[in-house]
Structure 1
């Protein structure tokens, strides 16, 4: 057997957002409604740009409140609007926003059969860029996926994220494996760049509904360097 482990991205790979545009609009509307009672003085039309700007800022350093990176980003948006809110308010707003995301997240119907089959021969793991680790664990539990994985590495628990190869090395260390022992399945440039930098064979999933290939495939790697599949079941053949 050529490989000993298969590592996965979560969102866009095993779990998909069916309508990202609708999800974002609903998410922004929810955030606006959460901030308005605290004195937000921005129109709904102006809020989208304001929100995306502040959410995209580097979050403040960790304090004594034990907020996740995602919650600190929410805190940054409140602060940017000149609003002072409690830690409890930050956590409540964050929870409501995560529920919006959850409403649009759908598991790929081929996910369980694939993981069930792979788990008979390979060690499996998750490497996810997500600023709120508890949510990833919740999703994996709710979808009954956690039982398949021998390691779960989430960027929100560390000071780095994909494409930094260190996050891939963490997963390998937990599995006791070398880079050449694993493949990594993802749907984004950060997955391809990071896996390759870590010495892991990258596999790109591009469903029919996915946009054109990431530019990284055109700039740095040939089609022979990056295995490309269009559906989860195709991953089996790429492991031979």
Structure 2
């Protein structure tokens, strides 16, 4: 799969790079502002909570058999997308689809409880990057800040942002499970721009004036490039594969697949790399708020 060339570029404070002044910074959430203490343990916790929940509803499969059935649970092809008129989240729809595969009849009212229990088990291994609050507070005084995240159960994200007090920093919050579009599709980034410009009078924010910070070369870097934004890859010094945060596989070496339309990007594209969030503050020059109005 083609990926953008990852290299360290000159400081963004260099007046010759980039061509347009930076007026906004959008962030990924999981893996970027929040990170995992252990992805494998997080997914094991998620699976155990799901297995126990399904056992209570009559599951007759062994743990190993059920684990194999959960492979690629978050893959786009795993479940149907809920109707816009249905209040069920996409994550709950995946749970319902899995129950059908297991020949279980679970009342619709129970899927919300199972969703909460399983995500909380996974979330026990996620923690707020200790540099995030200070960085966002500093950036908020000079830039429009936004959040674009892939997540199939939006209520959890809103609760997480509220409890962590990160919601106060973002002008716009875009969750894939709410709009039915996932990164790296550029449409989710374009949606964020439309929302930002609607909420901020006379801003007229352009993609080339916006940084996007994320930890995935495919979902974040490639998606931002395809949307015309300036990506920065957060590559923490860790032995874990960052892609392991996105899905459950009983075989941890199995790779996820993406639609072919998302696999093409130019190798000539470059992307600045940072190894921790504090490095972002070091490469930015704080301009007057939001830059020059148009």
- The TM-score with structure 1 as length reference comes to 0.92
Higher relative contact order (CA 8 A, sep 6+): 2
- Residue deviations 1:40-93 (CA, integer Å, cap 9, x gap): 111012221112255544322425652100010011111100011111111111
For the pair 1:59 / 2:79, whether they are aligned, the reply is yes
Q: Give the aligned partner of residue 28 of structure 1.
A: 47
Q: Give the aligned partner of residue 237 of structure 2.
A: 208
8 A contact 2:36–2:126 mirrored in 1: yes
- Partner secondary structure for residue 270 of structure 2: coil
Whole-angstrom distance in 2 between the partners of 1:139 and 1:210: 26
Whole-angstrom distance in 1 between the partners of 2:37 and 2:119: 16
Q: Counterparts in 2 of 1:107-186, with a 5 A limit? A: 107-176=128-197, 177-186=205-214
Structure 1 gap ranges (5+): none
**How far 1:238 moved relative to its partner?**
3.1
For the pair 1:226 / 2:271, whether they are aligned, the reply is yes
- Partner secondary structure for residue 30 of structure 1: helix
What is the aligned counterpart of 2:282 among 222, 233, 237? 237
Structure 2 gap ranges (5+): 1-12, 14-20, 198-204, 244-261, 286-294
Name the structure with the higher helix share: 1
Whole-angstrom distance in 1 between the partners of 2:81 and 2:45: 28
Q: Give the aligned partner of residue 225 of structure 2.
A: 196
Whole-angstrom distance in 2 between the partners of 1:213 and 1:115: 23
8 A contact 1:55–1:74 mirrored in 2: no
Moved more, 136-145 or 59-68: 59-68
Aligned residues: 236
